[in-house]
Amino acid sequence: MKKPNIAILGATGVVGREILKIMDELKVEYKSLKLLSSAKSAGTELKFQGESYIVEEAVPESFDGINIVIASAGGTTSKKFAPEIVKRGGVLIDNSSAFRMEPDVPLVIAYVNDEDLKKHKGIIANPNCSTSQLMLVLKPLHEKAKIKRLIVSTYQSVSGAGLAAINELTADTKANLAGEGFKNVCFKKPISFNVIPQIDSFCENGYTKEEMKVTNETKKILHLDASTPISCTAVRVPVYRGHSEAVDIEFENEITPDEARNILGNAFGVKVIDNPEDYEYPTTRDAANQDPVFVGRIRKNIAFKNGLSLWCVGDNLRIGAALNTVRICKKITEMNLF
Amino acid sequence: MKKPNIAILGATGVVGREILKIMDELKVEYKSLKLLSSAKSAGTELKFQGESYIVEEAVPESFDGINIVIASAGGTTSKKFAPEIVKRGGVLIDNSSAFRMEPDVPLVIAYVNDEDLKKHKGIIANPNCSTSQLMLVLKPLHEKAKIKRLIVSTYQSVSGAGLAAINELTADTKANLAGEGFKNVCFKKPISFNVIPQIDSFCENGYTKEEMKVTNETKKILHLDASTPISCTAVRVPVYRGHSEAVDIEFENEITPDEARNILGNAFGVKVIDNPEDYEYPTTRDAANQDPVFVGRIRKNIAFKNGLSLWCVGDNLRIGAALNTVRICKKITEMNLF
């Protein structure tokens, strides 16, 4: 197996640091490793596997000789450097939404649609966090009973909005408990002890971009018909880390809760915690810093003929971002796709 | 109009105190007022409209000569005293779940199904908090387009679980921020910076009682066919006051978001806040201590042919409990039904 020269673009960010942690955990093999960031963060020293790395400012020439770039530096940066990476023969694994819906770009959850990786033309997109955790759960159920309709309501933590949002939850909560005023900046509404029904900006149809990502990315990853009815309501809750989702699924064919529990019990990257009588079900905090997507509350949905309802929880920084990009990096190395 | 002798059973509780506040706000007229509680809380002094009341222990004879009892003291207490109240000619407006699904007991949201009050045989039930706020929103939409299917995911505050739960959220949050451990008591899982997918205990079918209340009470209040498909996932969030709900509705007939906004803009007890481009939509904290149910995020649901999605927020202690019981008290006085 050929070992790649790897660069991490956006290495100093919340997700970038998580990527490094996971590269270590998953024992990613590489020939060389380069850490890149904006001019602002360049010069930062980061430790990795006992070695010290000085983060460099990303410029086109940074990608000379690089085989795989894992990028988590926002859509603008990805768009700027993608052609530079590709023309130098590198493969970009991009965590932004910039390329996800482009027909030429595989949108991949490792172990869900790995075959799509083979079609890449230099760019591979990592799905949105709320989609990602759902795919590991839905794929094996879809294989068994075929998804006909999907309704998702999310309970998303603030870490998806970055470090400043994490700090705002803390500061706002402290002020609230002390009976002091607080001026929210990251969030458009106070986040402490509150629930905000908006993530990302609004589309023409009244859904937010976050909600439409769940709709459109799910169809692309699971190869569903474009007309498959999927609706999502994406909501921010005052939680630091982990996204939860209430999921209502209508299937073409019958599938019982016991069958679903069995299937998910054997599925890659999924852990079933589902014994409600003993209060065994996943809460959001259970997922923090964990790899699996946790699933519970599996029951026959009483509003659909062949329906299931379930509750799924994942770490939005890991399975929702860093973990899947690193898994893709391993896959394209193993599959010799760089 | 005949003025009733009124007793409040459970006067010292969170909801009991809210009932007194609202009786004052709504200028409820009465001949006499008696405040009742368990032996434990008897002797408490409560102020009401400038007068001082000593709370008495509820015994059967407490209800001699009482025309209307507003009870919020739990199902066991309601069951114990209901026959005593009824045989003395009084009307019980009960906030517990004890009688809600009994065929002889009207389950009423004031201004939604007032006609049902006429069928009472001494007991009138107040719906569960998550159902209550939804009814004011769904009734006028149902009249226009007929509900065919309903999917609800809730974001419920801790105050629904009482004063101890409110205190636990504060104590747990403070401990969490200080990096200290905390032993949860009220909630089966830590509530600080967490989301818990369980409210009330579990039924045979895998839904919780709270979830089945939304299903069954909605059908009873809106006089829907028993086979109407309704599914709910009820979830606790770290919020003090106010319940929010992501609601997906399929209708028999077409109804556009604009039509829905118009209808709800003119509906009793509902306030539309729905201008997402300017970040105008209700968050949970907006509803605290407010009477209206706030509705926003009204959009065509893309998973159903004649579908709407919306977000509704209500104060669980007011419209979810105290406000509606007091409104019913006024209604049966005006309608001469005691």
Number of A to B CB contacts under 8 A, please give it.
Answer: 167
Whether B195 sits inside 8 A of A237 (CB atoms) is yes
Instruction: Suggest the residue from B147, B185, B189, B193 to mutate for an interface test with chain A (most A CBs closer than 10 A).
Output: B193
pLDDT given at position B18 = 94
* Cα separation, B251 vs B169, whole angstroms: 39
Asked whether the beta carbons of A93 and A307 are under 8 A apart, the reply is no
By Cβ distance, the residue of A190, A195, A248 closest to B237 is A195
Q: Is A186 a catalytic residue?
A: no
* Cα separation, B148 vs B301, whole angstroms: 14
Whether A233 sits inside 8 A of B276 (CB atoms) is no
Whether B195 sits inside 8 A of A307 (CB atoms) is no
With cut-offs at 50, 70 and 90, classify the pLDDT of residue A277: confident
Q: Is B243 a catalytic residue?
A: yes
Instruction: Suggest the residue from A156, A157, A192, A195 to mutate for an interface test with chain B (most B CBs closer than 10 A).
Output: A195
Instruction: Provide, rounded to the nearest whole percent, the portion of chain A with pLDDT above 70.
Output: 100
Whether B193 sits inside 8 A of A239 (CB atoms) is yes
* Distance to chain A for B38, nearest Cα, Å: 31
pLDDT in tens, B144-173: 999 999 999 999 999 988 889 999 999 999
* Cα separation, B233 vs B231, whole angstroms: 7
Please give the single-letter amino acid code of residue B40.
Answer: K
Whether B299 sits inside 8 A of A205 (CB atoms) is yes
Catalytic residue from among B120, B142, B243, B329: B243
Which of B211, B16, B17, B198 has the alpha carbon at shortest distance from B128? B211
Nearest CA in chain B to A235: B246
Whether B173 sits inside 8 A of A170 (CB atoms) is no
* Cα separation, B163 vs B72, whole angstroms: 14
Which of A292, A242, A299, A244 has the alpha carbon at shortest distance from A267? A292
pLDDT given at position A162 = 85
pLDDT given at position B53 = 97
pLDDT given at position A154 = 98
pLDDT in tens, A140-195: 999 999 999 999 999 999 998 888 999 999 999 999 999 999 999 999 999 999 99
> Which residues make beta-bridge pairs with A152?
A232, A247
Please give the single-letter amino acid code of residue A332.
Answer: I
pLDDT given at position A7 = 98
Fold of A5-127+321-334: Rossmann fold (3.40.50)
Give pLDDT < 50 ranges for chain B.
Answer: none
**For chain A, which residues make up each domain, given as ranges?**
5-127+321-334, 131-316
Nearest CA in chain B to A299: B206
CATH for A131-316 is 3.30.360.10
Whether B279 sits inside 8 A of A189 (CB atoms) is yes
Asked whether the beta carbons of A188 and A196 are under 8 A apart, the reply is yes
> Phi and psi dihedrals of B239, rounded to 5?
-130, 145
Nearest CA in chain B to A234: B246
Of 3.40.50.720, 3.40.50.1860, 3.40.50.80, 1.10.10.10, which CATH number belongs to B5-128+321-334?
A: 3.40.50.720
Instruction: Suggest the residue from B130, B147, B153 to mutate for an interface test with chain A (most A CBs closer than 10 A).
Output: B153
* Distance to chain B for A171, nearest Cα, Å: 10
Which of A158, A93, A55 has the alpha carbon at shortest distance from A321? A93
Whether B302 sits inside 8 A of A240 (CB atoms) is no
Nearest CA in chain B to A295: B197
Task: Produce one character per residue of A1-34: b if its CB has 16 or more CB atoms within 10 Å, e if not.
Answer: eeebbbbbbbbbbbbbbbbbbbbeeeebebeebb
Nearest CA in chain A to B248: A151
**The two three-digit tokens of residue A163, written as one number:** 């470090």
Number of C-beta neighbours around residue A111 at 10 A: 16
Catalytic residue from among A142, A232, A243, A312: A243
* Cα separation, B2 vs B13, whole angstroms: 29
Asked, colleague to colleague, whether A5-127+321-334 and A131-316 share their fold, the answer is no
DSSP result, B3-28: PPEEEEETTTSHHHHHHHHHHHHTT-
pLDDT in tens, A88-138: 999 999 999 999 999 999 999 999 999 999 999 999 999 999 999 999 999
Average predicted confidence (pLDDT) for chain A: 97
By Cβ distance, the residue of B238, B257, B300 closest to A193 is B238
* Cα separation, A26 vs B213, whole angstroms: 46
With a cut of 90, say whether residue A76 has pLDDT above it. yes
pLDDT in tens, A294-331: 999 999 999 999 999 999 999 999 999 999 999 999 99
